[in-house]
Amino acid sequence: MAWLRDIDAWFLAEVLPHAAAYRARAAHFCGRDEADDIVQEAYTRVLGTGDFRAIKVPRGFVMTIVHNLAIERLRRASVVRIDYLASLEVLELADPAPDAFTVFSARSELIHLLKLIDDLPPQCGRVLHMRKIQGMAPAQIAATLSISLSTVEKHLAKGLALVTRARRDNNAQPEVACQTIPKPKRLATN
C-alpha cells in the first residue's frame, strides 16, 4: 500500500502480530479494562520512535514498554494487590515464548474473518466482500450495486472499522495463557 510509511510497514510486520502477548502482559498487571489502553499507549510510543530500524527485537521492545507503563499505572493506583508489586522484578524475565500466544493459526484467523464479514450488516459485508475477496474496484462495485462511490466508501470504512475492532477483541482471547507465568520466587521465599 502506497500510503504506508516504512515505519508503518515495519510496525505491521513486527509489532502488531504480537498484540495478544502485549495485551496479556498489560492485563496481568492492570486487568482487561486497562490493558487496551496501555497497549495503545505503548504503540504510540513505538510509532513515535524515530530510528525504528535500531530496534533489534521489536516484540521484546514493546513488551518492555508495556511492562513499564503497566507498573507505572499500578504504582499510581490507589489500591494495589501486594503480590503484584512483589513480583514486578521477577516478571521482568517472564515473557513466555511467542508460541504460547500464537493460539490462532493463520487459517483460523481467516475463518474468523469470514465469520466477521458474514456478521456485518448485509450491504456492508457485500461491499467488503466484493472489494477484498472478489477484488472488484470501488467504482465497479458502485455500478454493480447501483450505489454511489461515496456510499461504497462508507460501507468499506464501516466494515473495515468493525473488522479491525473485532481483530483486537480476538487478540484478547489468548489472555489465559498469561496464567502460566511462574509464581514469583520472592513470594515463595518470604
Q: Is 78 in the site for other proteins (CB under 8 A)?
A: no
Q: Is 12 in the site for other proteins (CB under 8 A)?
A: yes
Give the nearer residue to other proteins in terms of CB position, either 11 or 184: 11
Q: Is 74 in the site for other proteins (CB under 8 A)?
A: no
Shortest spacing between CB 124 and other proteins, in angstroms: 8
Cα–Cα dist 68/75, whole Å: 11
Q: Is 65 in the site for other proteins (CB under 8 A)?
A: no
Cα–Cα dist 158/155, whole Å: 5
Shortest spacing between CB 69 and other proteins, in angstroms: 12
Q: Is 177 in the site for other proteins (CB under 8 A)?
A: no
Cβ neighbours of residue 15 closer than 8 Å, sequence gap 6 or more: 43, 46, 58, 59, 62
Q: Is 170 in the site for other proteins (CB under 8 A)?
A: yes
Shortest spacing between CB 182 and other proteins, in angstroms: 27
Taking Cα atoms as reference points, which of 100, 74, 91, 92 lies closest to residue 184?
Answer: 91
Q: Cell digits for 172?
A: 484478547
Shortest spacing between CB 2 and other proteins, in angstroms: 8
> Strand, helix or coil at 149?
helix
Shortest spacing between CB 20 and other proteins, in angstroms: 13
Q: Is 96 in the site for other proteins (CB under 8 A)?
A: no
Among 21, 91, 156, 178, binds other proteins (CB under 8 A): 156
Q: Is 143 in the site for other proteins (CB under 8 A)?
A: yes
Cβ neighbours of residue 100 closer than 8 Å, sequence gap 6 or more: 21, 174, 177, 180
Q: Is 25 in the site for other proteins (CB under 8 A)?
A: no
The residue to which cell 461491499 is assigned:
127
Question: Helical H runs in the chain?
Answer: 6-10, 19-30, 32-47, 58-76, 82-91, 106-119, 122-128, 138-145, 149-172, 185-189
Q: What is the DSSP-derived secondary structure letter of residue 154?
A: H
Interface with other proteins by CB under 8 A: which residues? 1, 3-4, 8, 11-12, 16, 36-37, 39-41, 43-45, 47-48, 106-124, 128-129, 131-136, 138-140, 143-144, 149-150, 152-154, 156-158, 160-170, 173
